[in-house]
Structure 1
Amino acid sequence: MRADDGGGPIRVALADDEAMLRRGLRVLLESGGTVRVVAEAGNGDELLAAVRTHRPDVALIDVQMPGKDGLTALRELRSVPGAPVAAVLTTFDLDDYVEDALRFGANGFLLKDAEPAVLVRAVHDLAAGGAVLDPRITARLLPRLRNVSDNEHEKQLVRALSARERQVLELLADGRSNADIGARLGLTEATVKSYVSTVLSKLGAQNRVQAALIAQRVGGAGNWR
């Protein structure tokens, strides 16, 4: 149970090799009382051990760490029972890593210099089943990913979705959580979860971030029909 559903603070694990940065993030995240950092890690091995011991809801993971790096840890997290929702917490030199991070299951990309309120909101959104993308990262990613994507094929995949599935995708692309999507569309959270799974399957997306990027690449909802 988490703070979002009345069950206490959202439990977070921080993985970054800079101890001072981790301490600063801990203070920022815990300041409102809705988030509790239950574990810190300086590399991927420490993160994996912390996840097994502390069972966090969300993991914020730096990419470049000594020893086992963040990408490797992301990949190995997928085989850990009850693994947390994971987001990459990085600097602007992200471009070389984004595709691997998406493939390994990252549900978000955040910049280390984001405003405290943005980071806290992102943790809440991740815990509630949402995807998070710092707008500055999106602005950098889309031109690069657009060059390597089969845009017409993606448009066809999106247009093949049902009207309701396109509504879900549009809200998902805005970073909305399952609860938010359900409230806007008058659906139960379980029904939204089912729709999201169907949308991901039909788009060939491994996670919500990939689906959101596809939606943004093909343009606004007006282009989906």
Structure 2
Amino acid sequence: MQRSEQEVGDRVRVVVADDEAALRRTLRVVLESGGDLEVVAEAGDGEELLAVARTHVPDVVLVDVQMPGRDGLSALRELTALHRAPATAVLTTFDLDDYVSGALHCGAQGFLLKDAEPEALVRAVRDLAAGGAVLDPRIAARLLPQLRGAGDALREARLVRGLSAREQQVLQLLSGGWSNADIGRELGLTEATVKSYLSAVLGKLGAQNRVQAALIAQRAARGGS
């Protein structure tokens, strides 16, 4: 069961998993500079990540996919199945597209490059905690041509055009990384109504999660290229 959206004023509890201790320390400093983010634990491999996630029940987990022993992708599958599952974002580099695609199908809600600007990283974690989906534009640009063939891209564009006007508005905001609360404020809807629209959008698009829906929307906006 996915954790409910982060309430305003709460500190966002974060776990960082990467086999490079120096990177973990850097990420801790960057995230905690935001004031409302707290790194409650670190992990150097997949087994340690699962252990600290069960102990600390974080709101957000940032995980590298390549770690010794049990890798991040394997751990991600179990994380998303936890009763109080955290929002998960994959930390990656440009040369790991296959891992990113695999993480997408495992239910990851965010994909961030390790060289992301500090402000962007802090904002992404906040958005994840609030129920948003985050996707570094540079990753999206590389993933869009790979995930489906040209025929599927055209079919996706037709599916997006087949959504109601309100569903298309919700999808457009979702593809921009907006949380349910932000979408509701923008469109004058309750969060419960936004969730209902999102459920309908995911079903009509055949998307497994918010990130897949966002990628479909971006492909459709590019004309299925």
Aligned-residue offset at 1:146: 5.0
Equivalence for 2:198: 196
Equivalence for 1:118: 120
**1:53-75 deviations in Å (ceiling 9; x for gaps):** 00000000101001111110111
Equivalence for 2:51: 49
Equivalence for 1:32: 34
Aligned-residue offset at 1:4: 5.3
Percent same amino acid at aligned positions? 70
**1:110-148 deviations in Å (ceiling 9; x for gaps):** 011111110000000001111111111112222333546
- TM-score when normalising by structure 2: 0.92
2:14 is paired with a residue whose SS is strand
Equivalence for 2:13: 11
Equivalence for 1:97: 99
Q: Classify 1:209/1:2 alpha carbon distance in 2 versus 1 (closer, same or farther; 3 Å).
A: closer
- Contact 1:2–1:10 (8 Å) recurs in 2: no
Aligned-residue offset at 1:98: 2.1
Aligned-residue offset at 1:78: 2.4
C-alpha distance in structure 2 between counterparts of 1:48 and 1:89, whole Å: 17
Structure 1 ranges of 4+ moved more than 2 A: 1-8, 143-149
- TM-score when normalising by structure 1: 0.92
- Contact 2:90–2:100 (8 Å) recurs in 1: no
Aligned-residue offset at 1:198: 1.5
Aligned partner letter, 1:28: V
1:39 is paired with a residue whose SS is strand
**1:32-55 deviations in Å (ceiling 9; x for gaps):** 211000111111111111111000
Q: Classify 1:148/1:64 alpha carbon distance in 2 versus 1 (closer, same or farther; 3 Å).
A: farther
- Contact 1:3–1:35 (8 Å) recurs in 2: no
- The residue correspondences of 1:149-168 to structure 2 (distance < 5 A) are 150-168=152-170
- List alignment gaps of at least 5 residues for structure 1: none
C-alpha distance in structure 1 between counterparts of 2:6 and 2:119, whole Å: 16
**1:158-189 deviations in Å (ceiling 9; x for gaps):** 12211111110011111111111111111011
- Contact 2:92–2:100 (8 Å) recurs in 1: no
